[in-house]
Each structure stands twice: as C-alpha cells, then as structure tokens.
Amino acid sequence: MILQQLNRCAMSGILTFLLGIAVHQRALADSLPGIDAILEQQLAMVERSLELAPGGTRSVVYLGVAQNAQSPAFHEDVLRVQQRLQEANPKLQSIILSNDARTTQRPFPAATLNTLRQALARMADWSRKYQLMVVVLVAPNGKVAALSSKAASDFYAPLQSRHLRVWLDALGETPTVLMLSSCRSVSFVPKLAADHRIVLAAAAADRNASACDEPSDNTHFIDEIFGVGFDPAKTWQQNFDRTGTGVTTNAKSSIPDTLAQRTIADFLRP
C-alpha cells in the first residue's frame, strides 16, 4: 500500500515536471526568430501601400492585437477599432494579429510576443522612411505589468511593459496612440507614457476590467469609446471620457499636451 502511494506520488511529480518543460519550451519557441508567413503577407501589403503613397502625405498604420482566445470580445475589439478608424480614413493600413479560436482556419497571424515584436520592428523601420501616424490596440487578459497571450490550449510568453517600451520607443517621434483593453492595464501607463504617445488603459493596477455583457460583441472599454457615441470630430480624451460614465469607471489616460487638442479625425487625416 505504501509502495503504491509512493509510486503515485512519483508519477505525479514526473508529470508535473514534464508539463513544466512543455510550458517552458512553448515560451522559448515563441521567442525564437522566424517570420510568420501570414504576417509577412500583411506587412508586405502595407509596405507596398506606403511606397505608393504620394510624397508629403501621412499614412496611418493600425496594429490590432487580440492576444487572448478565452473570449471572442478581444478579437471583436480589434475589428471594431479598425472599422471606426477606417471610416475616418479609408486609406488606413492595418495589421491584425489574433488568437481567435472560433475558426480552424488562420485568416490572421497568431498574436504572440514574437509576431508583435516583428510587426512593431517593421513599423519602426517604416517610421524612418515615411510620415506615419500609428494606432495600436492590445486586447488580452492582464496582470500588473504583464499581458497574457493564449491561443486555444496554448499559453505563449506574456507581454511585459518593458517589451512594449523598447518596441514603441523604436518608432522615435512618430505620433502614436496605444490602447490597452485589459485588466490592471493602468500599471503600464507610467512606464509607457511619452511626449509623442497617447496611452489609454482600461483598468486600474488593482482592478479587473469590466469585460462584456451578452449579447455585446465587445468589451465595455472599447464599446464605450468606439460604440454608438464615437465621434472622430472630438479629441481622444473626449471620446475616452465616455468610459467614466459607463461601466468602465477605473480607466486612465495619458495624453501629452502636444496631442491633447487634436481631434481623432485630424490625427487620422492623410
């Protein structure tokens, strides 16, 4: 009897050890170089459009990242923001990364630490060649200074504030809007605020973000900014302030003076 218990304990320890190795290998694999083929197609299309843009015009590049597959709302957030921005600027260039689990096909590249790094690295390269305005939405579950990335049953290496800081700083002085639709995302704000960067975060460092209610397709945070009352003739702050009147009452923004008075329509104008 005692021997059987010891054997069970040993097997349990071995399984736990092997599971730990598998998780570690997944994180390592995600950090390895190599370009996602679907992502490369997206990047090539955007780069071609930038090359063909008339000289002296500004191009707006949108990067939407749905990191978590536990709810379709994250993916729908990315698409909702894309739709609203495209209504204001039909020439919007979009890069979509998504772990949406509702389809067995892969219409979008997976949203992992590696694909996000590659996309922002390419955008940084473009910022040195072309006049850009950048909008980034990251929609995952989150902890303090760390945003999870999950696709189906696979967890990928988490996105940390230090990653975003380095990758976004590589854009130089490019005017940028970063939106974090995640629990505890306000913990990112002081680390990512910059004179040329607007940061909009959904939830305080000690709070969960209000997710969504059925039959809504979007999280409350994105729905309150980009829903029925969205007005591109108003500033980012004015649209963001609508979160204070809805469910998402613990959101926070960081908007530098240089961008505070610009309407969204002006920000997105070619």
pLDDT at 49: 96
Both 6 and 82 in a single domain?
Answer: no
pLDDT at 67: 82
CATH classification at residue 104: 3.40.50.1460
Both 165 and 222 in a single domain?
Answer: yes
Please report, in tens digits, the pLDDT of each residue of the chain (270 residues total).
554 554 555 454 444 444 443 433 443 344 434 568 899 999 999 999 999 999 888 999 999 998 877 778 889 999 999 999 999 999 999 999 998 877 556 688 988 889 999 999 999 999 999 999 999 999 875 444 445 444 444 556 677 888 889 999 999 999 999 998 865 566 778 888 899 999 988 765 444 444 444 445 788 888 889 998 999 999 999 999 887 654 545 677 889 999 999 999 999 998
pLDDT at 59: 97
Both 146 and 171 in a single domain?
Answer: yes
Residue 62 sits in which domain range? 37-268
The CA distance from 146 to 160, in Å, is 4
The CA distance from 191 to 259, in Å, is 18
What is the chain's Cα-based Rg?
20
Both 27 and 140 in a single domain?
Answer: no
Both 95 and 151 in a single domain?
Answer: yes
pLDDT at 126: 97
Both 171 and 221 in a single domain?
Answer: yes
pLDDT at 220: 81
Both 8 and 73 in a single domain?
Answer: no
Both 249 and 151 in a single domain?
Answer: yes
| Residue pLDDT, tens place only, 69-99 | 777 888 999 999 999 999 999 999 999 999 8
Torsions phi, psi of 93, nearest 5? -100, 125
pLDDT at 19: 40
pLDDT at 171: 97
The CA distance from 61 to 201, in Å, is 20
Both 24 and 117 in a single domain?
Answer: no
Both 106 and 195 in a single domain?
Answer: yes
Assess whether the previous peptide bond of 215 is cis (omega < 30° from 0). Answer: yes
Domain count, the chain: 2
pLDDT at 144: 40
CA 241 to chain centre: 21
Both 16 and 71 in a single domain?
Answer: no
CA 227 to chain centre: 18
Both 66 and 19 in a single domain?
Answer: no
